[in-house]
Amino acid sequence: MQDPSERSTAEPLEFREVTKRYPGSAEPAVDGLSLEVPAGEICVLVGPSGCGKTTAMRMVNRMIDITSGDILLGGRSVRERKPEELRRHIGYVIQQVGLFPHRTVGENVATVPGLLGWDKARIAARVDELLDLVGLDPHVMRDRYPAQLSGGQRQRIGVARALAVDPPVMLMDEPFGAIDPINRERLQNEFLRLQAELRKTIVFVTHDIDEAIKMGDRIAVMQVGGRLAQYAPPAELLMAPASEFVEDFVGADRALKRLALQRVRDIDLWSVATCRVGEPTAAVRERLTEADLDIPLLVDDRQRPVGWLSDRALLGERAREELRSRADPIVELDDILRDALSDLLASESLYGPVVDADGRTVGVLSIQVISHAIGSAPAEVPGATELAASEAAAHAEAGAEAEAQAAAEADDE
Amino acid sequence: MSLTPVIAQGGGFVRDRTGESSCVSENGFCPDWIWDNLDRYVTPTWEHLYLTVISVGLGFAIAVALGLLAHRRRWLVGPITWVTSVLYTIPSPAAFLLLLPLTGRGNVTAIVALTAYTQVIIFRNVVNGLANVPADAVDAATGMGMAPTQRLFRVEVPLAMPEILAGLRIAAATTVGLAAFAFLAGAGGLGKQIAAQITFRSNVVVAGGLATLMAAGLDLLVLGFQRAVTPWQRAAS
């Protein structure tokens, strides 16, 4: 329904030496904050309570006045715009959602279009479009009241309402904070999919570093006193925390957290010798010498993994179906590395076959491959993480052979 | 035997008892007499209703205005609550009599006093109702670009409506009761009818019953209005 010409593009956002001082308090709430958010990216403000992250966010739409410095939206100072007019063009999502209980879902979503004086037909069409966008059936939902919705549905309506006039910028204050962990994960994923399509410039506030790593294109870690401790993409933040504060804040498991940022397809997998039942064993042996793993993988006629062959399987002329173990777990190329590692650990395996979207075997993921991936940073960084990284790399190389051997022995038992 | 109360001299009527049944002469509850004399109650009932509706309507308008003002200027809540509470504590017969020298006998005096009595109830419910509006709804309204007045009338007042109308219901019922003393100010009403023959059971029952019915009717009216304007309240899953 929407005319493409009126679809606004995302705008860059810039904090320029922004300070907020409340009268009567010695410490500023936000202290000289400078950062740039490129158009279409999610900037997560994260930090402990009292670090000024929400204050910083609320200065963007002038819910809180700036004491000194400036915030530029699309190159234009927010200070020279009328607060109401400015806010109508900035999406606003808060933790408690703030749906109006006395208005239906449709009326809630229509709030800002109504304020901007859109005509009825255009509003109605836009409401249905938005409900569709957030995965709710307009015919079922439109006339319900917020009290008749689940927490997750309310949150989706909150997002739809914020997107109503397709604002170039969105502010989200702990938007998934009040949702239970299972639904939070789902809503986060949904929102990331939505964002991949909409490409809004988003300021996202959270106190949860894991959420920050998951949602952020860039993360601004703030510390008490309203100072910016570090502003970096998630991987860089985890690889090279700029200070002890950041290092503590991202947590001792930051190497593990980095696994959440990579997918199996992003790393170099081991090659594997595949083998079908009845194949000449000589050919399989030939392939085994070239493979990274010295255990052949039995596959079916569509290259789907079946299991790891035992030594006896290749004793004859033709390969027989004698397994030392099932192919478990089977990892997919699109799996997040952290989840893949978890699968390996759960099934007490040191390696597992990797399949593509059609289920065909493309390689092997092993614990060694993963630890090597942790060690080789996407960005070359010296400093705090160097030790951990080089340790992991050394371990991966030196220990690979011994461990593969040990694994084979373990599997034999 | 003179049953005529002193206050009845203010314009009440004295029942002529000649030729009445023994029930009536014994001041009993006499359905026949009630049926024959219902027309006596029409005018007092209308007067009573008039006093109540005007006073509650006026009181509602003033108290809501004061409540909205105090919502924006919080420091006013204390003083206004104090003044209206003091007004409320004045015994109503005293209020009617005290106002006589200022406003004279008649409806004006009655309405001024009755209106004053509604203030504390409605004002407090308006202020509390607005204060109890969920903070997140107010924050969202502001964050989406509603101007303060838009926010007040589109979000805050509608959400405070159940509490405001609850105040209105109490005020209406209270005013029906207090208006029974309005005859002291010379404004008539069912109270005048009761006082005129306070020992005649039939009279007291009918006049009192009409006042009770009126209170119940007004209550239902406001309740119906409340249900009509707050459909969302019944939508809880």
User: Where residue B43 falls among pLDDT bands split at 50, 70, 90?
Assistant: confident
Instruction: Average the pLDDT over A100-121 and give the result.
Output: 94
Which amino acid does the sequence have at B78?
G
- DSSP 8-state symbol, A314: G
What pLDDT is stored for residue B2 in this prediction?
40
Please state, in angstroms and rounded to a whole number, the distance separating the CA atoms of residues A287 and A263.
27
Domains of chain A: 4-256 (3.40.50.300), 264-412 (3.10.580.10)
Check whether B198 has a pLDDT greater than 60: yes
Dihedral in degrees, nearest 10, Cα atoms A20, A22, A26, A28:
-20
Would an 8 Å CB–CB cutoff place B137 in contact with chain A?
yes
In which band, very low, low, confident or very high, does the pLDDT at A101 lie, cut at 50, 70 and 90?
very high
A97 and B155 within 8 Å at the Cβ level: the answer is: no
Interface ipTM above 0.95: no
Which of B137, B143, B237 lies closest to A100 in CB terms? Answer: B137
For residue B150, list chain A residues with Cβ-Cβ distance below 8 A: 115
Question: Does position A121 have pLDDT exceeding 90, yes or no?
Answer: yes
What confidence category does residue A38 fall into, taking pLDDT thresholds of 50, 70 and 90?
Answer: very high
Phi, psi (deg, nearest 5) at residue B28: -85, -170
Decide if A97 and B139 are in contact by the 8 Å CB cutoff. Answer: no
Mean pLDDT of the region A321-346 = 89
pLDDT digits (tens, 9 = 90+) for A170-190: 999 999 988 888 888 888 988
Burial of A221 (C-beta count, 10 Å sphere; 0-12/13-18/19+) = buried
Q: How far is A164 from chain B (nearest CA, A)?
A: 10
Q: What is the pTM of this model?
A: 0.75
Rounded to an integer, the average pLDDT of A306-313 is 89
Structural domains in chain B, sorted by start: 42-230 (1.10.3720.10)
Calpha distance B36→B33 (Å, rounded): 5
Judged against a pLDDT cut of 50, whether residue B235 lies above it is answered with yes
CB contacts, 8 Å: A101 with chain B: 134, 137, 159, 232
Q: Give me the residues of A, 136-175, that contact B with CB < 8 A.
A: 144-145, 147-149, 161-162, 171
Say yes or no for a CB contact (<8 Å) between A102 and B232: yes
Nearest to A260 by CA among A373, A392, A175, A354: A373
Residue from the list A85, A94, A103 with its beta carbon closest to the beta carbon of B136: A94
Cβ separation of B143 and A61 shorter than 8 Å?
yes
